[in-house]
Structure 1
Amino acid sequence: MTPILPKHEAATLIDAARLRQGLTWAELADLLGTPLVWTTAALLGQHPMTLEQARSVCERLGLDETVEESLRLQPSRGTSPEVMADPTIYRFTEALSVYGQALKALIHEEFGDGIMSAINFEVDIARRPHPDGDRVVVTLDGKFLDYRW
């Protein structure tokens, strides 16, 4: 029996097929009827897909059942050391390192003792024109979960 294709290998095949066909992540999200950021994360290995979702995207990209099978796996979420070396991902880590304590304090002041869920969660990205250069707007929208005894 052959092992299931690792999610990071499936992601490499998906991205190559997407680029070679001139498709955007938004077009794949539209195909699946799923949110853009979720779809991109799922296709890069951070969320499991349903059989129907995996089959649909693999048919569109011309990928076989080994990729489809991988897309349905539960992921090991997080970031590898190689990915952390990427400047864009590192800047997100840096921003949370600098502002994380302040955000935590403000959440507690506004909501009380608890956390922002990253499970009951929405994330979006947008471009905002600015005279000094366009701005990247990232919205993290998580349900507040209070600590209860």
Structure 2
Amino acid sequence: MSIMQEFREFAVKGNMIDLAVGVIIGGAFGKIVDSLVKDLIMPLITLITGGGVDFSQKFIVLGDNPNQLQSLDELTKAGINVLTYGNFITILINFLILAWVVFLMVKLLNRMRRTQEAQPAEPAATPEDIALLREIRDELKKRPEH
């Protein structure tokens, strides 16, 4: 079998296509979670913490700052070493929310599976010979004994 045939078999297998769809949906879902964190949750956290909190602008200057620059953009452009822990906090919050949502989705799917499995399956049809034997038994029970 040639390499091209092997690759074609690999590429068109159902699992590969399912994986590709999962990655695409996951990427789009990640953007939704990013927006959820930036546009909804972070403003609420800022409100709860008393306002004025923007995690993306939290940093520590690790080098000399001769011009006493104050903004992250200015420090970055000047090439000054900066520890941007606020960005890490935002990404950590994104991850925790994403993990929570995935957990809830898996929990829901598992519950649906259990419900579906718990439904009794229709009993298998009685084979014709067994049904006939039962009829004979029932008729014999109806006969009076001598």
TM bracket, shorter-chain basis = under 0.3
Pick the structure with more strand per residue: 1
Normalising by structure 2, what TM-score?
Answer: 0.23
Normalising by structure 1, what TM-score?
Answer: 0.23
Pick the structure with more helix per residue: 2
Structure with higher Rg: it is 2
